[in-house]
Structure 1
Amino acid sequence: MKRKRYISVLAVMSVMTALGGCGMQNNFVEEQPKNMTIGISVYDQYDTFISELMSQFQSYVKEKEKDWGISITLEIQNAEQNQLVQNSQLDSFIEDGVDIACINLVDRTDASSIIEKAKTSDVPVIFFNRELVKEDLERWDKLYYVGADAYESGKLQGDILVNECETNFDKIDRNHDGVLQYVMLEGEASHNDSLIRSMTVIQEITENGYTVEKLSDEIANWNRDQAANKMKQFLEEFGNSIEVVLANNDDMALGAIDALKTAGMENSSENWPAVLGIDGTTVGLEAVEKGEMLGTVLNDARGQASGMLELAYSLTMGTKLPKKYQLIDDKYIRMPYKIATKENLGEIQVEQTK
């Protein structure tokens, strides 16, 4: 019996040696895949920031295909602001055998169907830009979020106004009553970023010693046209009493500017309120450069796009994430916001082209 066992071992060793001689020894080590397929569903492809984020994502994919020596296939779908449509899009991704899904939720409070489908099929999900409820993200260890801290964006928007008031308070406070009269254009009623931005911007202004008076606020669903209509109503009711326009994103700030122009109001310190946005979109930064918008808060589209792709690659290939994108609580990648005003616009524009 001992002799037979010895012969068997020799036989196995001979086969392995022969395979090694044929240059096939690496077949005994699992090789990295040479391609990766990512399914992406966005809540609305016509959202300016989301459109820019996707453009950055596609550009970064082209860069990293060369660096990583792999082929990356993207399946990008528009959910058209319909959660049921988005749920079915994940079904299609799963049927197509994607390695990972990136989901920009239509309804941040209704992620259950996405999560259960992904869990059942063992397809990791990276949620991005529209942050889901924390408890939902913790329902499975292959769920992640890439975005930014909404609290920071509201605080920085407030800082833009505070900084301006410190040097040009009389320019902002046109009626010289010592109070900043403002209107606010908000995103969706239940959207996490909208709620937090609306709260923290006012908190930041008042904590820095300035008194504010809310004339009105309206939900404009991140949309430029809706914001223009809301601003038109504000102007009809309050006219030149409006000293500050606080918008939850650049598109709504631009909608307010559209309404000001339509009303025939000249862009001057005498009758043009201070307009502030958030996102730092291309058109938003152009409005800052023209002096139509006092400032915006840069939401790093390229940083979020690169973070999403780096995480997708790490999860699919089993590699370590670069230090720049280390996960917070094993779940989150958050990119910092940055103030964008005329004073640092050149620096911002240079960074955006890198």
Structure 2
Amino acid sequence: MSERRGVQREVLSDLGVSLVSGGILAAGGSAVAALTRSCAGAPVPTWLFVAIAAVALPAAFLLTRRLTRRGPQVFILISAFAQTRWLAGLLDSVARSLDHHGIDLVVKLPRHDYSGQSQVRELNAIRKKRRSFDGGLIVCSHPETIQRELADTSTTIGLPIVFVDIRPFPQVSDYPPNAVFVGCDADEIGERAAQWVGQELREAGRDRPSILVVAGDAQVGRHLAFAAKIRDMVSPSRLDINVQGDFSREGAWDIIDQHLSQVHRRGESLDVIYCTNDEMALGAADAVKKHEAQGYEHNGLFILGVDGTPDALATIKSGATRFRATIVQDPRRIADAAVDLLLRMRDGEHVPTETLLATTVYPAR
């Protein structure tokens, strides 16, 4: 029913354009006829009206449609927006970058975070209104569960599509011709985190550290690549990985609180907490602070996050918690790259299928 209404609106829009252009044509024809009579004092031949109509009607239609058409628009579809503050920075940067080019941004948020079907429903709704857009950006979660739908819908939309932050397809050959990806490599993030942690541990002389990794079930390269790299750099006495953090501050707080309670009961220590986003790292810092307030010491413990959100940077800079560093993904740089790719694709230019941007560490050594 909604698709039928959309088609009806388009037909009514075109009908309106036709009526307006017809008015332009009629006014023009009357003016030409009056001018001809006044100059020649004779009736205007029928063939002259036909010739005028043949030339003027298409021009009037195109001119009127251009005058009545909305300005250029680009959509962005973001899943799991409510739980990830880094995405707020990305959204703001995308809006600013598009505004610089005189393009409006239409934001689409699936009703249910992390739901593949909600994402597909939003894509289907966009497909029905595709004539309203010049292209779109998609930040999808768990793309492995809806890869076929993502490919089919992207192809059907037929607009330039830039996937951002999370790779939608495992191989470059899997991308539809109108789709590309820009973002930071999850494996590179994990390896950079391990390098930072490994160097910190070596400088502290801790050869057999106890390490806890708190992650989510997306962006798995961030914790898998970390685990593989850190084992090459040091020989952990324990390396625990919990993927139930859900990228949320509250989820990480619960995990760290329980883990520290177990560590205390065993009479052991914890050296490193690596969280695969800053929200979880902030939750980890809160949980550690609670245990320290209860009299438990965590000498030498440090926390590392990922993203470089303003809250994380401020907390690290304050030095008031065990949150020591974060792997920074610059949302402005990613947004500018995504918009640039989108506009180049819109203009028919060939662009790389995948564009991977390097991360940095805050604070820099």
| Structure 2 equivalent of residue 312 of structure 1 | 342
Do 1:265 and 1:271's aligned partners in 2 also have CA atoms closer than 8 Å?
no
Please report how far the alpha carbon of residue 137 of structure 1 lies from its aligned counterpart in structure 2 after TM superposition: 6.0
Q: Which deviations, in whole Å up to 9, do the C-alpha atoms of 1:157-209 show, x marking residues without a partner?
A: 1122223234333xxx4xxxx31101110111xx2x22x2212223333333x
Please report how far the alpha carbon of residue 272 of structure 1 lies from its aligned counterpart in structure 2 after TM superposition: 5.8
Q: Within the alignment, does 1:338 sit opposite 2:360 as a pair?
A: yes
Q: Which deviations, in whole Å up to 9, do the C-alpha atoms of 1:247-281 show, x marking residues without a partner?
A: 11111111111111222349998536211111111
Partner Cα separation in structure 2 for residue 339 and residue 121 of structure 1:
38
Partner Cα separation in structure 2 for residue 60 and residue 249 of structure 1:
25
Q: Which deviations, in whole Å up to 9, do the C-alpha atoms of 1:308-350 show, x marking residues without a partner?
A: 1111111123357xxxxxx4xx301111111112x45xxxxxx
Partner Cα separation in structure 2 for residue 244 and residue 87 of structure 1:
39
Partner Cα separation in structure 1 for residue 247 and residue 273 of structure 2:
14
| Structure 2 equivalent of residue 153 of structure 1 | 189
Partner Cα separation in structure 2 for residue 130 and residue 333 of structure 1:
12
Please report how far the alpha carbon of residue 212 of structure 1 lies from its aligned counterpart in structure 2 after TM superposition: 0.8
| Structure 1 equivalent of residue 325 of structure 2 | 295
Q: TM-score, normalised by structure 1?
A: 0.74
Q: Within the alignment, does 1:82 sit opposite 2:111 as a pair?
A: no
| Structure 1 equivalent of residue 30 of structure 2 | none
Structure 2 counterparts to residues 235-274 of structure 1, below 5 A: 235-239=260-264, 241-265=269-293, 270-271=298-299, 273-274=301-302
Please report how far the alpha carbon of residue 289 of structure 1 lies from its aligned counterpart in structure 2 after TM superposition: 1.0
Residue type at the aligned position of 2:116 = Q
| Structure 1 equivalent of residue 98 of structure 2 | 61
Structure 2 counterparts to residues 120-269 of structure 1, below 5 A: 120-135=156-171, 138-169=174-205, 173=206, 178-188=207-217, 191=218, 193-194=219-220, 196-208=221-233, 210-214=234-238, 216-219=240-243, 220-239=245-264, 241-265=269-293
Partner Cα separation in structure 1 for residue 231 and residue 175 of structure 2:
38
What's the secondary structure of 2:76's corresponding residue?
A: strand
Residue type at the aligned position of 1:72 = I
Q: Name the count of aligned residue pairs.
A: 288
What's the secondary structure of 2:247's corresponding residue?
A: coil
| Structure 2 equivalent of residue 348 of structure 1 | none
Please report how far the alpha carbon of residue 298 of structure 1 lies from its aligned counterpart in structure 2 after TM superposition: 0.7
Do 1:183 and 1:246's aligned partners in 2 also have CA atoms closer than 8 Å?
yes
Please report how far the alpha carbon of residue 142 of structure 1 lies from its aligned counterpart in structure 2 after TM superposition: 1.0
Please report how far the alpha carbon of residue 283 of structure 1 lies from its aligned counterpart in structure 2 after TM superposition: 1.3
Q: Within the alignment, does 1:106 sit opposite 2:135 as a pair?
A: no
Q: What is the aligned counterpart of 1:286 among 311, 314, 318?
A: 314
Please report how far the alpha carbon of residue 54 of structure 1 lies from its aligned counterpart in structure 2 after TM superposition: 0.7
In 2 relative to 1, CA 183–203 (structure 1 residues): closer, same or farther, beyond 3 Å? same
Do 2:169 and 2:175's aligned partners in 1 also have CA atoms closer than 8 Å?
no
What's the secondary structure of 1:211's corresponding residue?
A: coil
Do 2:250 and 2:283's aligned partners in 1 also have CA atoms closer than 8 Å?
yes
Q: CA RMSD, aligned part only?
A: 2.7
Q: TM-score, normalised by structure 2?
A: 0.72
Do 2:214 and 2:275's aligned partners in 1 also have CA atoms closer than 8 Å?
yes
Partner Cα separation in structure 2 for residue 214 and residue 166 of structure 1:
16
Partner Cα separation in structure 2 for residue 225 and residue 305 of structure 1:
28
Flag the structure with larger Rg.
Answer: 2
Please report how far the alpha carbon of residue 53 of structure 1 lies from its aligned counterpart in structure 2 after TM superposition: 0.8
Unaligned ranges ≥5, structure 1: 1-14, 20-26, 28-32, 66-70, 321-326, 345-354
Residue type at the aligned position of 1:84 = Q
Q: Hey, which bits of structure 1, 4+ residues long, moved more than 6 A?
A: 266-269
Residue type at the aligned position of 1:49 = W
Do 1:90 and 1:101's aligned partners in 2 also have CA atoms closer than 8 Å?
no
Partner Cα separation in structure 1 for residue 296 and residue 343 of structure 2:
50
What's the secondary structure of 1:216's corresponding residue?
A: strand
Unaligned ranges ≥5, structure 2: 1-50, 56-62, 64-68
